[in-house]
């Protein structure tokens, strides 16, 4: 266990491969996933969510789900958080899936923690405990349990959900910030504060996540997909997808 009073039952850096499939009903711990490469698919009742690089997923203990690999691999930092008072805020929220900037930090800290537990040093426990608590502090901050940012996070999450549900619209910084009821300048600042990314980056990622879903249907041409996600042409879509995902959509489709 990590942290005081058994706050975390399990933590690992996991490299998931083809064939990974897990189904869970209610349990006595909450699950957190930080995806740093690859892609996973989560089915919760009728709803399907996709975990892509840079995303944070939180599944409260009461939620039942089905989880499978949706790529050639899915590499994550994984935590099973005990259902204790420290994480009571999770019970007040639904399933969370959003961009996050702390995943790489957690991955580095986890590797340091594992290295520390393996070295033959009498003081290794103290160092390992400090690293463990630092990881949990970062999770505290992400969840808003100690930062006081819950209302801001919920307001931004609501805004970006609405954007993601209507990507065919011609979304601009002005229209998205208006949706959030923030000024453009303040909207840029709070997006960087909460997500660690600019509105432009968040919009591109939302579009590319949708493109990945649409590419699975061979009947969807790039022209049709471009119209569905608000790009003026297949050429513009292809360039934007390459900048965000690292490959052309045609190459991505061939690899499916």
- Higher pLDDT among residues 217 and 85, named by residue: 217
CATH class of 4-143: mainly beta
194 to 36, 106, 145: CA distances (angstroms): 18, 17, 14
pLDDT at 10 over 50: yes
Q: How far apart are CA 93 and CA 72, in angstroms?
A: 31
pLDDT tens per residue, range 234-243: 999 999 999 9
Strand partners, 179: none
Half-sphere exposure of residue 148, counting CA atoms within 13 Å on the CB side? 0
Q: Is 197 exposed, middle or buried (0-12, 13-18, 19+ CB in 10 A)?
A: middle
Q: Is 105 exposed, middle or buried (0-12, 13-18, 19+ CB in 10 A)?
A: middle
pLDDT at 146 (0 to 100):
44
59 to 81, 98, 169, 196: CA distances (angstroms): 10, 12, 30, 22
Reported confidence tier of residue 140, pLDDT bands at 50, 70, 90 = confident
Average pLDDT over residues 113-125: 72
Closest CA to 109 of 130, 91, 92: 130
Reported confidence tier of residue 121, pLDDT bands at 50, 70, 90 = low
Q: Domain extents for the chain?
A: 4-143, 150-254
Q: How far apart are CA 65 and CA 88, in angstroms?
A: 20
**Domain at 150-254, CATH from 1.10.1760.20, 1.10.10.60, 2.40.50.100, 1.10.10.10:** 1.10.10.60
Q: C-alpha angle 191/12/195, rounded to 5°?
A: 0
Closest CA to 97 of 39, 180, 157, 26: 157
pTM: 0.59
Residue 223 tokens, joined: 């022209």
Give the position of tokens 């740093």. 36
H/E run at residue 252: helix 249-254
pLDDT at 147 (0 to 100):
47
pLDDT at 4 over 50: yes
Q: How far apart are CA 32 and CA 28, in angstroms?
A: 14
């Amino acid at each position: 266990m990590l942290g005081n009073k058994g706050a975390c039952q399990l933590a690992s850096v996991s490299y998931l491969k083809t064939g990974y499939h897990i189904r869970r009903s209610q349990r006595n711990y909450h699950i957190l996933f930080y995806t740093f490469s690859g892609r996973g698919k989560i089915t919760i009742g009728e709803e399907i969510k996709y975990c892509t690089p840079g995303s944070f997923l939180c599944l409260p203990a009461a939620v039942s789900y089905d989880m499978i690999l949706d790529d050639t691999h899915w590499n994550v930092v994984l935590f099973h958080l005990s259902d204790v008072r420290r994480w009571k805020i999770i019970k007040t929220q639904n399933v969370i899936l959003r961009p996050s900037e702390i995943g790489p930090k957690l991955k580095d800290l986890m590797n340091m923690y594992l290295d520390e537990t393996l070295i033959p040093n009498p003081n290794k426990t103290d160092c390992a405990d400090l690293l463990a608590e630092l990881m949990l502090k970062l999770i505290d901050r992400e969840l808003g349990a100690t930062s006081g940012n819950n209302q801001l996070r919920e307001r931004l999450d609501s805004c970006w959900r609405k954007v993601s549900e209507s990507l065919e619209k011609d979304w601009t910084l002005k229209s998205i910030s208006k949706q959030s009821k923030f000024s453009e300048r303040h909207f840029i600042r709070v997006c960087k504060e909460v997500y660690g990314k600019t509105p432009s980056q968040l919009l591109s990622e939302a579009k590319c996540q949708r493109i990945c879903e649409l590419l699975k249907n061979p009947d969807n041409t790039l022209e049709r997909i471009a119209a569905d996600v608000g790009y003026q042409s297949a050429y513009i879509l292809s360039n934007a997808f390459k900048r965000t995902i690292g490959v052309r959509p045609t190459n991505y489709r061939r690899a499916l």
